[in-house]
Structures are given as C-alpha cells and as structure tokens.
C-alpha cells in the first residue's frame, strides 16, 4: 500500500462539510430533509441574512448572505430557522474526533472544515480508500454530508474539495493543474475575492492560467507579496504544513452587527461602536491577547462595503481604547450616508505577556503613575507564576452565555476543544 503514496511528497485531505448548519438541522430533525431550508442570523424580515441554506433552497437561487426577504421572494416555501450554535459545535467536535482517528495531523480551519496530512497513514489504505471511509463514517455516525479533496498540498486539496458538492471526493494532482485549474476564472480560486479578481483584470489576468504565467514584478506592484503567493498557488506550489497547533493562534478577533434600520445619526452609530468595542474587548481578554492593529467595517444601505485599518502605537484590549480609536477611524472614513452594518476587528494579535507599551507625550504621565502597580504585579508573577493575578476578562465564561453577534462564532468554535493531550 505504501506504493500508493509519494516517496518525497505529501498526501493532504481537505474535508469540507456540506451546508453545515442546514445539514445539522436536518440530522436533528429528519422531517426537514429534502426541503428548502435556510439558517438566518436573525429571523426578522428586515435584519435577517442567510447564513447558510440547503441545496434544495439553492435551486431557487437562495444564497449565503442574501437578505431573508429576498430569499423568501425567490422561494416562498422556504423554511427558516435561527442558528443553534451549541448543536453545531457538538457536531463539529464529533466530525474532528473522526478525522483524528486516521492521523494526528489534523488542522481545523473553521467549524466545518479542516486539513489532514495522511502521508504516514498508508497502513490504513490508499488515499482514496481513506477519503471514502472518512466520508462514509461521518455520514453514518453524524448523518452529515461532506466533500473531500485529495492532493499533494493544502491549496490543491481545498480547490479539489470545492469541485464536487455534496458528497464528492476529488483527486487533484499537480499534473492536472493545466487542464483542470487554469481554464477557471481567478474569482474561482481559493484566496482570491471579487475585488482582487477585478484588480487582476487591470493586468489582463482573467483566468488562473493567466495568473500562473503573469509577470511577478507587476503582481508585486499591484498586490504586494500576496501577488507572488497567488502566482505560486496558481502553479500548484504550497509548502504550508498541516499544523494541529495553529488552532490556538488567533490572527484577529472581531464583531460586527447588522443594524435594525439604516442609521445616519452619528451619536447612534457611536453607541453601536461602543457596544461592539465592549464585545471585542471581552473576547480579546478571554484569549489573553492584545491588538496591535484596529480595523473597522462599514456597510452602507446600498450594500457598498469598506474596510479600513490602522496600525497602533500601543497594543490594546480595553473597551474604552477600542471604542475611542474605532470612532476616530470611523469618522475619518465615513461619508455621511446611512449605515446598514458596522464592525470592529482587533488584528495582528500579541500575547498579553509579550506585549510592550511605548510611552508617548500623551500617555507617559498616566503610565508613570501606574508603574509601581505594574512592577508589583510583575514581581508577583515572577515569584508565583504568570497566572497568579489575572484580569476579570480572562476568566472562563459560562459556555451557555453567548457574547457578541453570530459573526464571531466561527472563529471561537474551538475554544471548547482541549489544547493538548493532558487536558480533560
């Protein structure tokens, strides 16, 4: 069986659950199977946005992020249910438990998808046999469908898993790239969004094949180092390992909310930013991290969306700092039109114990007064351990009490997973 595996390369699987939230609801209530079903973040007509929907609903044109009123117009018989996050979390844990029975090298990337490195799992069968076994077990034990991509690296495995849905298994080798990937539009490539695809068109790059042969200097000028990385991916080059520990790394923490109505009053918008800042602050403190970059998202009533970020002189996680800086960033970029959605994101996170503070002309007196307290805390931690004194925000919070908007759930779903084998 070892002959079925490459001598020098790797075999990577990307397991992607199909219409996960909707599928979990169908597994919980079989009477929903075969019917057009949608999960909406808020079931109210005005605020409701489709989070996911069944394949039966998609046949009517219903799509993710579509307003609920529009979805019902396309499909009057649409069944709408609010999300049940605890139910989805349990299904996700069950799915990853199954994956780990085939290899320890499992990297969850969201609640419903993950990578597996099965290079050393040859005793369990060929790559396609392992993929088929995993798919059947998930379907039999959890009553959930999934698609699996089989490839020599993560990028190709991800592209492969998207090719046959639902319940598909696709093998994508490097020799298949010219025939299978290159004819596709760049917008169909993993890692390239609509805006990036439009930028690439300015260079005459419309297909993945065009990107694979593009001029690197032009790409770097247009998109920075990401442009070079995209070209590598288009040629099937991706050296990223499957990293089980990456789940503990948080690159950003944010919250956003769709407003109950289109709002153009500055004070009302400020109050919403303050509320979001408090939620983001709680989550940053729970992870014991600080943000060194702050980002905001503004979506206008015509659905035009802008995102802006600002590198910070000092790492922050306090709600007042987050609120004040987000207001400044908002005012700098808001055009005065009515707003439909607001979001705040802490980015480029650093561990609290490794964060530093740069004193400046405006803060040094305030910080100097606190210095004796900081020194005392430092001495206590050095003598008794880092966790001897913690802020209230770092303590575990009742898992039944959900904080923040639903948009934060996908990034926090793994907080109930053990981080190492010693933990219960």
Question: Is CATH 3.40.50.300 what the domain over 182-234 is classified as, yes or no?
Answer: no
Task: Please work out, in degrees rounded to the nearest 5, the angle formed at the alpha carbon of residue 157 by the alpha carbons of 153 and 162.
Answer: 160
Every domain range in the chain assigned CATH 1.10.150.20: 182-234
Among 116, 92, 152, 123, smallest CA distance to 15 is for 116
Q: What is the dihedral of CA 99, 100, 106, 110, to 10 degrees?
A: 60
Every domain range in the chain assigned CATH 3.30.1490.100: 250-358+390-416
Distance between CA atoms of residues 391 and 395, nearest Å: 8
Question: Is CATH 2.60.40.10 what the domain over 250-358+390-416 is classified as, yes or no?
Answer: no
Chain segment 370-401, per-residue pLDDT in tens? 445 545 555 555 555 544 444 444 444 333 33
Distance between CA atoms of residues 185 and 170, nearest Å: 19
Active-site positions read: 113
Mean pLDDT of the residues in the chain: 84
Q: Determine the average pLDDT of the residues in 28-38.
A: 97
Question: Is CATH 3.30.70.270 what the domain over 1-173 is classified as, yes or no?
Answer: yes
User: Residues forming the annotated binding site?
Assistant: 16, 112
pTM as predicted: 0.65
User: Residues forming the annotated binding site for Mg(2+)?
Assistant: 16, 112
> How far are the Cα atoms of 140, 267, 303, 317 from residue 355, in angstroms, in the given order?
47, 33, 37, 11
As given in the structure block, the two tokens for residue 352 are 């609290």
In sequence order, what are the residues at sequence separation of 6 or more whose Cβ sits closer than 8 angstroms to the Cβ of residue 196? Answer: 186, 223, 230
Every domain range in the chain assigned CATH 3.30.70.270: 1-173
Q: Where are the beta strands (DSSP E) in 196-352?
A: 252-263, 289-300, 305-316, 339-351
pLDDT of residue 203: 96
Chain segment 229-282, per-residue pLDDT in tens? 999 999 999 999 999 877 655 578 999 998 989 999 999 999 999 999 999 999
């Amino acid at each position: 069986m070892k002959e079925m595996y490459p001598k020098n390369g790797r075999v990577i699987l990307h397991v992607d659950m199909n219409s996960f939230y909707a599928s979990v609801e169908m597994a919980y209530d079989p009477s929903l199977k075969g019917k057009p079903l949608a999960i909406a973040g808020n079931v109210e007509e005005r605020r409701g946005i489709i989070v996911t929907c069944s394949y039966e609903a998609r046949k009517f044109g219903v799509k993710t992020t579509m307003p609920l009123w529009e979805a019902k117009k396309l499909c009057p018989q649409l069944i709408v249910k609010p999300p049940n996050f605890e139910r989805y979390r349990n299904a996700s844990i069950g799915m990853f438990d199954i994956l780990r029975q085939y290899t320890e090298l499992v990297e969850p990337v969201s609640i419903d998808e993950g990578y597996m490195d099965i290079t050393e799992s040859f005793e369990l069968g060929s790559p396609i046999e392992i993929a088929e076994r995993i798919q059947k077990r998930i379907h039999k034990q959890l009553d959930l469908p999934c698609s699996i991509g089989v490839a020599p690296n993560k990028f190709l495995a991800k592209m492969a898993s998207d090719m046959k849905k639902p319940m598909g298994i696709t093998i994508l080798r490097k020799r298949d790239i010219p025939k299978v990937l290159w004819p596709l539009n760049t917008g169909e490539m993993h890692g390239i969004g609509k805006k990036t695809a439009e930028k690439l068109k300015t260079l005459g790059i419309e297909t993945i094949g065009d990107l694979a042969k593009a001029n690197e200097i032009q790409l770097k000028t247009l998109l920075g180092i990401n442009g070079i990385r995209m070209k590598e991916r288009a040629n099937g080059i991706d050296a990223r390992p499957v990293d089980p520990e990456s789940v503990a790394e948080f690159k950003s923490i944010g919250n956003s909310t769709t407003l109950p109505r289109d709002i153009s009053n500055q004070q009302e918008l400020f109050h919403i930013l303050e509320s979001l800042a408090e939620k983001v602050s709680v989550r940053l403190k729970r992870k014991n991290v600080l943000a060194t970059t702050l980002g905001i998202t503004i979506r206008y009533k015509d659905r035009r969306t802008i995102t802006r970020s600002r590198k910070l002189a000092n790492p922050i996680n306090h709600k007042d700092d987050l609120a004040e800086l987000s207001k400044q960033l908002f005012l700098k970029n808001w055009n005065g039109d009515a707003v439909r959605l607001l979001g705040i994101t802490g980015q480029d996170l650093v561990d609290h114990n490794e964060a530093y503070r740069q004193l400046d002309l405006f803060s040094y007196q305030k910080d100097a007064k606190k210095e004796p307290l900081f020194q005392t805390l430092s001495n206590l931690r050095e003598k008794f351990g880092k966790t001897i004194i913690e802020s209230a925000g770092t303590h575990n919070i009742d898992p039944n009490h959900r904080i923040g908007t639903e948009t934060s759930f996908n990034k926090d779903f793994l907080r109930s997973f053990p981080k190492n084998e010693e933990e219960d």
